[in-house]
Amino acid sequence: MQTHVSSDDKNNIVQQALTSESDEEMLAALRDIILGQDQHLITQIMRSHARELVANVVVEALHDRQLKDQSVDKILQPVIEQSVERSVETHSDKFVGYFYPIVGSLVRKSVKAFLSNFIEKTNQMLEHSLTVKGIQWRIKARQANVSFAQYAVSQTYQYRVEHVFLIHRETGLLLKSVSHPDSVQTDPDLISSMLTAISDFVSDSFAQPDSTDDEQLETIVTDNYTLLIKPGPYATLVASVTGQAPSHLSEKMQLSMEQIHQLYQAELSKFNGDNAEFEQSEGQLSDCLIAEEKLESKEKKPWMAWILLLILGGFLTHWGWRVWQSQQIEAQLSVMDTLPGYSLQKLNVDFGFKHQSSAQIELLRDPDSVPVKQWLANQQITLDQIEIKEKYFHSVEPSLITQRLSPIKAEFTELEFNHKNGVWFASGKVPANQKYQLLIKLGAIGLSEGINLDLTQLQIQASNTLLAQSQQVSEQALFQILAKINAIQIDFELAEVKLAEPMLAQLNKLTQLYQMAKKLAEPLNYQLNLVVVGTSDASGPKQMNQKLSIDRANSVRTELVKQGISQDEIYTTGVSQLDNKHFGSEASQINTRKALFNVMYLKQTQNTERKI
């Protein structure tokens, strides 16, 4: 590239050179002619060829600088880390695809390294805690008034750099600090302030009057630590060492201090209290975190760690075996919910860690079904402790109904019963005067005409001489059924209007009896109505008890309508607190939170009403 200087500029420069009185002025004028004023000619040439010149030497320059003081990687590492972090955040999906094939291998290696490290650390912990040496160390640490960890470090390492602090020399503020991973946590800012105060005290106290040099501390020795101080023009580097500090540590600190001043000279000279600019100096400070362990005379084997792992493995194996046993027994007991006449409400099996096994069983059971303990014995299920809470209910399982029909068949020898699709079909012959007794017996075992009993195939044997007796018998049977209905009581929990499961079975029985009574009452010209009376106890205000008693009666009425009784035939009322004084000394134990029943019947031919 050629550059041109105007003729006027050249004449001016030559004129100045001729009129100059000294060689230096003539030399400066000649330099201006060749390079241009303010060297702008050479600057233009360098700018035009800068890219080519730098490209030829940048690799060699980075290589030479890295060999000299290893500062290149310390500068590039934070930049590359930040670049990779931003790239991962922006293209996370691509990185997942890149790393997926090697994740499995990495996980296996990581787990292997973790287990190895865990065993080693556990072994060290046990050796330092459960051995004679560990107990001696604890005693000596207490005598020296230091923590066990500090004493253990002093006995394990020849030396170890615990902390490194970079402190601004002028302000005394902490710029950056690093610590050994196993070191005791400290407050770096507090340490920085104290060191600055001590250094200022020494400098002011021992300074020579005629000297311009400041007195500087280089070493501070305490019972547990040695502080090595390496001052610089703008910052001070401090290393906290346990054990005997080696001589090459001071050289390494000096090298790190020079690198920091070289890389952060501008930031140090213009420091305004913000230490965020020195976060990248961690690499230089970490170079000073060196340590050297004491040599052991014999190779250690982590016997204590392996014994602990064996004990832990045995414990987990035994616990897993007990859990498996508990699950097997629970699966066997859960079969009860499928047995005829069984309704399992709650099951809890506990094997525990010891050999004591227990189970809690709550269920509803039909009285005609197999007893729970007998079923357990048949299944060869044995437990150390077993608690059984059972309530009875009326089951309509076919196998149980067949069992209950046996005595009825023995009494009515000409009857046959068949079961199909949930309905029992009765066939054969029965005398007219015994029909209603048959219905009562069938209702008692859970069979009700129109619900699960079909009598269309039943033949009724009647005679003129028996008609009067049949009507009388039917009327007596009707009154017996009404008396059974009036004896039924529904219990409620405290302040509850919701029906419990056993009470629903009671209402089902009441519905069957009421339907049976209606069939008996129809040929006798009786009209039936059911009155439901709700009651409460005296534990609350009277107004609230009155509402509770009415709500309980309505709750029963709603369930009866669901089961098939017409709502026009049911009347409800509430009597608030039920007087239980006539129960005598046992009055406090009687549950007066009930729903009571009263059947009213009216014979239409006589237009009179009788109430039961």
Looking at the fold, whether 480 and 426 belong to one and the same domain comes out as no
Of the three residues 364, 392, 420, the one that is the final residue of a domain is 392
Span 520-538, average pLDDT: 89
Higher pLDDT, 18 or 242: 242
Distance between CA atoms of residues 518 and 564, nearest Å: 12
Q: According to the model, what pLDDT value does residue 522 have?
A: 85
Work out the pLDDT band at 95, boundaries 50, 70, 90.
low
* Helix (H) or strand (E) segment spanning residue 161: strand 157-168
In a domain, 176, yes or no: yes
Minimal CA–CA distance to 422: which of 448, 453, 444? 453
Q: According to the model, what pLDDT value does residue 412 have?
A: 84
Distance between CA atoms of residues 72 and 487, nearest Å: 100
In a domain, 83, yes or no: no
| Pairing label, strands 526-536, 570-577 | parallel
Domain span including residue 409? 394-455
Q: According to the model, what pLDDT value does residue 552 have?
A: 93
Looking at the fold, whether 380 and 399 belong to one and the same domain comes out as no
User: pLDDT, tens digit, for every residue of 406-460?
Assistant: 888 888 888 888 888 888 888 888 877 677 778 888 877 778 777 788 888 888 7
Of the chain, the percentage scoring pLDDT greater than 90 comes to 10
Looking at the fold, whether 571 and 473 belong to one and the same domain comes out as yes
Work out the pLDDT band at 15, boundaries 50, 70, 90.
low
Minimal CA–CA distance to 273: which of 174, 392, 397? 174
Window from 333-347, 349-363, 475-489 with minimum mean pLDDT: 349-363
In a domain, 468, yes or no: yes
Most confident option among 148-152, 158-162, 564-568: 564-568
User: pLDDT, tens digit, for every residue of 382-400?
Assistant: 777 788 888 877 777 888 8
Q: According to the model, what pLDDT value does residue 180 have?
A: 82
Minimal CA–CA distance to 405: which of 396, 422, 507, 518? 396
User: pLDDT, tens digit, for every residue of 288-298?
Assistant: 887 766 655 45
Most confident option among 24-28, 71-75, 322-326, 587-591: 322-326
In a domain, 420, yes or no: yes
Looking at the fold, whether 289 and 332 belong to one and the same domain comes out as no
The CA-based dihedral angle spanning residues 477, 482, 487, 490, taken in that order and rounded to the nearest 10 degrees: 130
Higher pLDDT, 9 or 500: 500
Distance between CA atoms of residues 257 and 261, nearest Å: 6
Distance, first Cα to last Cα, the chain: 130
User: pLDDT, tens digit, for every residue of 185-195?
Assistant: 777 778 777 88
Q: Reduce the DSSP state of residue 364 to 3 states and report it.
A: strand
Average pLDDT, the chain: 77
Q: Which residue has the tokens 């729903």?
A: 595
Considering the entire predicted model, what is its pTM? 0.34
In a domain, 112, yes or no: no
CATH value at residue 602: 3.30.1330.60
Query: Per the structure, how many domains does the chain have?
Result: 5
**Structure tokens given for 174:** 């902490």
Q: According to the model, what pLDDT value does residue 531 have?
A: 94
Phi then psi dihedrals of residue 359, to 5 deg: -150, 145
Instruction: Using the predicted structure, report yes or no on whether residue 174 has a pLDDT greater than 80.
Output: yes
Residues with Cβ within 8 Å of 417's Cβ and at least 6 positions away in sequence, in order, are 405, 409, 424, 425, 426, 427
Of the three residues 69, 88, 111, the one that is the final residue of a domain is 69
Looking at the fold, whether 213 and 328 belong to one and the same domain comes out as no
User: pLDDT, tens digit, for every residue of 120-147?
Assistant: 655 655 555 555 666 766 777 777 676 6
Of the three residues 371, 392, 413, the one that is the final residue of a domain is 392
Looking at the fold, whether 161 and 288 belong to one and the same domain comes out as yes
Distance between CA atoms of residues 400 and 54, nearest Å: 101
**Structure tokens given for 164:** 């490194």
Neighbours of 427 (CB within 10 A): 15
**Structure tokens given for 32:** 């201006």
Instruction: Using the predicted structure, report yes or no on whether residue 466 has a pLDDT greater than 80.
Output: no
Instruction: Using the predicted structure, report yes or no on whether residue 18 has a pLDDT greater than 90.
Output: no
Q: According to the model, what pLDDT value does residue 178 have?
A: 87
Q: According to the model, what pLDDT value does residue 606 have?
A: 47
User: pLDDT, tens digit, for every residue of 554-568?
Assistant: 999 999 999 999 999
In a domain, 18, yes or no: yes
Looking at the fold, whether 427 and 540 belong to one and the same domain comes out as no
Looking at the fold, whether 529 and 590 belong to one and the same domain comes out as yes
Q: According to the model, what pLDDT value does residue 610 have?
A: 43
In a domain, 75, yes or no: no
Q: According to the model, what pLDDT value does residue 549 have?
A: 92
In a domain, 111, yes or no: no
Residues with Cβ within 8 Å of 197's Cβ and at least 6 positions away in sequence, in order, are 172
Looking at the fold, whether 433 and 343 belong to one and the same domain comes out as no
Which residues make beta-bridge pairs with 388?
A: 361
